[in-house]
Structures are given as structure tokens and as C-alpha cells.
């Protein structure tokens, strides 16, 4: 019996090169994105004397380790300096396009791929970074891989993969006032859990997803891994095509028409069957913050810190107690009003132009009560934001306007919070130590983070509405 196929199935089956043992398939990789973390793999490849199969399929940028201070100059830490320099050396040696420091196109790898049009519907895309799911916003089968796999893709342009199951998450209705894409994905993760998507590729669907801009879809897909899923996708549509047209790597002329015709065949067929279906109503989602040390620990800002004593499962209770001790939060205390030490607006989740606009709209004409950083996702975004005057809005409000990079999302480039500091952050992980040893992270949307900067406390951004 012929049944409809999911978008995932269509892209997957088109990329199968060979069948292997144990149900494995050799999957072809159309696009490979690289960053400083890839230097381990480049080094091994060089040692073995292996060539890169398709240098033209690769795009590299420096993001994880670059300093983002406005006047950073030479990188002070010699190990970091070497890592960034090594990426430049390897990419030059191998003929791989590299956007390095000082180059306008440099930025966070999951920002620049789409920005350059290297991320396209229907392709397979990998990167040695778990947030590679971001690119799924374009109807791309994109997933994060480890260092050995990076080496394997460089050498063969393929990967041995087991087919994941497919989960559709349908978000119905429309987002209420003050609710951003970040709130939608935090609500999804809270619902299905940090391990809810393990072994699955997710397709996000429904009117609330369809109504989203590309920047918003990227925010949603970006955090698929925070629900355990290696990939998360949105079917391409007119929004996707309009966004993509004219970008450097995008097809043009007659090729553009041919590409669009193919891309229109990608959405899941109406009778496609998914292994798992989850539904949410956008109208029930509120501005959200995390209170614990897993992204699943998310609640509406109007709620209180949960009480472990009310939880039956002993393992869950112990885990909550540990999280609350780390976060220095008391059960039953209102989330709103919790004092924060600093604010971080940036990361591959929320550093795009619309994110900066949303934060600036809250900051405009006000004054930050705590140190607040704004780190644009790329040099091009920084320039576009400056052309709109967003940088002035931020600096007039006492925010710091910085250079592009992963910055305080990842805690490896010198941008960290101090032990015990509480950070209102637009990043994607609130793990213990993620933003610096002993630092406490609350995840939230750019608008909510800007609101926290203004009041110095976790704040319902709707109360600052003008």
C-alpha cells in the first residue's frame, strides 16, 4: 500500500548512497560547516595524509573561541590564538572558504550558513556542533556530529547513519502578545522533556510555526537537541524562498526556478504517518524562563519555583533538589523578581536581527540596571543592526554592544560569568557551569532578557509594554 511520505523521508531516501550492515545506510552530505572545534579533525586528517573530498562543500568560520570585546585586538590566550590560527591554516591549505576574524561575513556558524544561503531546502547539512538542527528551519536535514564524524565527512562526504524515527510537533493557534519563538520552543521542551526527542527527527508544523519568520523558525529548530533530537525541521514555503533568494550561495536565474520546483515537493504529504505526534496550543504559551539546570525546567514567568517535595518520583525529586541548590532558588518563591547579576543577548539561538530588534524595543529609552551584553550573530547582522540604529539604542540604555561570536553561551572564549552570578540569557543551555564555573543561567527570549536588564530582575516583559 502506498502511503504518503514525510519531508524527512523524502530527503533521507534521496541521500542514501549505499546500504550497510545492521540497517545502516551511507548517507551523502551536501554541506559541511566547520569552526575552530573542527581543528582536532583537521589535524588527524593531515597526520594521515588524507585529502578532503569536496572542499567546495565546506564553509568555515571562527565563532566558538573568538573574543567578542569591542577592542579585543590580538587574542591573549595562546592556546585559543593557536586554535583560531589553525583553522585559518587548515582551511587555506585545503581550499575551504573561511570567514575569519575581522571579516564581515564572520559569525556564529549557525547564523552564517543561512545568511550566506549555504543552507538550503532538501539538502543534508552537518557540523560538529549539536545546534546544527538550526538549519532545519529551511527544510534542511541538518544534524550535529562528533569529531570522528567530522573527519569522516571531510574524507568521504558521507556518514554511516541509522534512520531515526520521526516526530511531528504541531503548534496550533497564534502566539499571544509578548510570546516569542523562544517561548514556544521552551514550552515544547518542557512538555516532551530533555530526552523526549532522543532517537527522533522532529518536524515542527501547524499555524503558529507557519506564521513564523525564518529567524523565528531558526530559534525553534536550534533547540531541538535540547529536547534530545538531533534534527528539527520546518517545511519550506514562500517565507523560506523569499528569505533565501539572492543570497551568495543560493541558486539564481534558471537554476533558482528549478530549485524552487524541487523544494515545493519537499513538504510532508497530507497522508504521511509520523512515529509520534505531539500537539500544543500557542495561545496557552506565556513568556517563559527556566528555573533549573536542564532546558526542560521551564515555566511561565508568572509561576513560582517548583517544590521538589510535591514530586512523587524520588529520582526526579533528587534531581530538582540538586538543581535548586545549584541555582540558589527557594521552592515556592515567585520567579518574577528574582535578582540577576548580568544579561546576555546572543548565541546561535537568539542573535539574529529580529532578536536584536525585539530586545532593542524593550531597551529603548530605558536604562540597564545590571551589566548587559548584546552579541550579534555575525558581522553582517552587526552592520545591519547599526544601520537601523539598534546599537545606539542599546548603548544609550547602558548595554554593551560587542563583536560577533558564541561568547557567553559556551564558556570557552573568555566570555564567562563569575561563580555564583545569575545570568538572564538568550542562549540554549542552562547546564551547571555552562556559562562559567558556578554560574547560574536562566534561559529566556531576547525581549525577556532585555526586560531583566532594565529591572535587574526576572521580569514579565508584558509589564513593560508601552
Question: Interface residues with other proteins (CB under 8 A)?
Answer: 17-18, 20-24, 26, 28, 30, 37, 40, 65, 79-80, 83, 120, 122-123, 128-130, 144-149, 151-152, 155-158, 160, 162, 164, 194-195, 198-199, 225-226, 228-230, 251, 255-256, 258-259, 262, 294, 296, 315-316, 318-319, 322, 410-412, 429, 431-434, 437
Grid cell locating 324: 535548586
**Least separation, in Å, of the C-beta of 130 and other proteins?**
4
Grid cell locating 436: 562559567
Q: What is the DSSP string of 232-279?
A: EEE---HHHHHHHTT-TTS--THHHHHHHHHHTT-SPPTTB--SEEEE
Our CB check for other proteins shows the closer of 1 and 315 to be 315
Our CB check for other proteins shows the closer of 12 and 65 to be 65
431 C-beta neighbours (distance < 10 Å), count: 13
CA dihedral 385, 389, 390, 393 (to 10 degrees): 170
Kind of pairing between the strands at 372-374 and 400-401: parallel
**Least separation, in Å, of the C-beta of 391 and other proteins?**
28
Residue whose C-alpha is closest to residue 172's, from 147, 203, 200, 209 = 209
**Least separation, in Å, of the C-beta of 162 and other proteins?**
7
Helix (H, G, I), strand (E, B) or coil at 298: strand
**Least separation, in Å, of the C-beta of 294 and other proteins?**
5
Our CB check for other proteins shows the closer of 266 and 329 to be 266
For 315, the enclosing helix (H) or strand (E) is helix 314-327
How far is Cα 225 from Cα 172, in angstroms, rounded to an integer? 22
Our CB check for other proteins shows the closer of 100 and 173 to be 100
**Least separation, in Å, of the C-beta of 58 and other proteins?**
13
**Quick one: DSSP state of residue 335?**
S
Our CB check for other proteins shows the closer of 53 and 392 to be 53
Our CB check for other proteins shows the closer of 160 and 357 to be 160
**Least separation, in Å, of the C-beta of 147 and other proteins?**
4
Answer yes or no: are the C-beta atoms of 133 and 221 closer than 8 Å: yes
Sign of CA dihedral 347, 353, 355, 357: positive
Our CB check for other proteins shows the closer of 30 and 216 to be 30
**Least separation, in Å, of the C-beta of 140 and other proteins?**
12
Answer yes or no: are the C-beta atoms of 115 and 104 closer than 8 Å: no
CA dihedral 364, 366, 368, 369 (to 10 degrees): -160
**Least separation, in Å, of the C-beta of 407 and other proteins?**
12
**Least separation, in Å, of the C-beta of 295 and other proteins?**
9
Our CB check for other proteins shows the closer of 158 and 205 to be 158
Our CB check for other proteins shows the closer of 287 and 436 to be 436
**Least separation, in Å, of the C-beta of 321 and other proteins?**
11
Helix (H, G, I), strand (E, B) or coil at 177: coil
Helix (H, G, I), strand (E, B) or coil at 369: coil
Residue whose C-alpha is closest to residue 403's, from 413, 411, 412 = 413
Helix (H, G, I), strand (E, B) or coil at 384: helix
In the block, which residue shows the cell 527556566?
A: 290
Our CB check for other proteins shows the closer of 106 and 124 to be 124
The CA distances from residue 49 to 42, 45, 146, 242, 317, in Å, are 10, 6, 21, 43, 52
Amino acid at each position: 500500500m502506498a502511503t504518503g511520505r514525510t519531508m524527512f523521508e523524502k530527503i533521507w531516501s534521496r541521500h542514501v548512497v549505499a546500504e550497510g550492515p545492521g540497517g545502516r545506510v551511507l548517507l551523502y552530505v551536501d554541506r559541511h560547516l566547520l569552526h575552530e572545534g573542527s581543528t582536532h579533525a583537521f589535524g588527524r586528517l593531515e597526520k594521515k595524509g588524507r585529502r578532503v573530498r569536496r572542499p567546495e562543500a565546506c564553509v568555515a568560520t571562527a565563532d566558538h573561541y573568538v573574543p567578542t570585546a569591542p577592542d579585543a585586538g590580538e587574542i591573549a590566550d595562546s592556546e585559543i590564538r593557536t586554535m583560531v590560527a589553525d583553522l585559518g591554516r587548515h582551511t587555506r591549505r585545503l581550499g575551504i572558504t573561511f570567514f575569519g576574524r575581522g571579516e564581515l561575513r564572520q559569525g556564529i556558524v549557525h547564523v552564517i550558513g543561512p545568511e550566506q544561503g549555504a543552507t538550503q531546502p532538501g539538502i543534508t547539512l552537518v557540523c560538529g556542533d549539536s545546534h546544527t538542527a538550526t538549519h532545519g528551519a529551511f527544510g534542511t536535514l541538518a544534524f550535529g556530529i562528533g569529531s570522528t564524524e567530522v573527519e569522516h565527512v571531510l574524507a568521504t562526504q558521507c556518514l554511516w547513519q541509522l534512520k531515526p524515527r520521526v516526530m511531528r510537533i504541531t503548534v496550533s493557534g497564534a502566539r499571544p502578545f509578548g510570546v516569542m519563538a523562544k517561548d514556544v520552543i521552551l514550552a515544547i521542551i518542557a512538555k516532551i522533556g530533555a530526552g523526549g526527542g532522543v532517537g527522533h527527527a522532529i518536524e515542527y508544523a501547524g499555524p503558529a510555526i507557519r506564521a513564523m519568520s525564518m529567524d523565528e523558525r531558526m530559534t525553534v529548530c536550534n533547540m531541538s537537541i535540547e529536547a534530545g533530537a538531533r534534527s528539527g525541521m520546518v517545511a519550506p514555503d514562500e517565507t523560506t524562498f523569499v528569505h533565501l533568494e539572492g543570497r551568495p550561495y543560493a541558486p539564481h536565474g534558471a537554476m533558482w526556478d528549478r530549485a524552487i520546483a524541487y523544494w515545493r515537493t519537499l513538504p510532508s504529504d497530507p497522508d504521511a504517518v509520523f512515529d509520534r505526534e505531539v500537539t500544543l496550543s500557542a495561545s496557552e504559551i506565556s513568556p517563559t524562563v527556566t528555573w533549573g539546570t536542564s532546558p526542560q525546567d521551564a515555566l511561565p514567568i508568572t509561576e513560582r519555583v517548583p517544590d521538589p517535595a510535591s514530586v512523587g518520583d524520588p529520582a526526579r525529586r533528587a534531581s530538582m533538589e540538586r538543581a535548586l541548590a545549584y541555582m540558589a532558588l527557594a521552592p515556592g518563591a515567585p520567579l518574577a523578581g528574582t535578582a540577576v547579576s548580568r544579561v546576555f543577548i546572543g548565541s546561535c539561538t537568539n542573535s539574529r536581527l529580529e532578536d536584536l530588534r525585539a530586545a532593542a524595543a524593550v531597551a529603548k529609552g530605558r536604562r540597564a540596571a545590571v551589566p548587559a551584553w548584546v552579541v550579534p550573530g555575525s558581522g553582517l547582522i552587526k552592520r545591519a543592526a547599526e544601520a537601523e540604529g539598534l546599537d545606539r539604542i542599546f548603548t544609550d540604555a547602558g548595554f554593551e554592544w560587542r563583536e560577533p561570536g558564541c561568547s557567553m553561551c559556551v564558556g570557552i572564549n573568555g566570555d564567562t560569568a563569575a561563580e555564583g552570578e545569575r545570568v538572564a540569557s538568550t542562549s540554549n543551555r542552562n547546564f551547571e557551569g555552562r556559562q562559567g564555573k558556578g554560574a547560574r543561567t536562566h534561559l529566556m527570549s531576547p525581549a525577556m532578557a532585555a526586560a531583566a536588564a532594565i529591572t535587574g530582575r526576572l521580569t514579565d516583559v508584558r509589564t513593560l509594554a508601552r
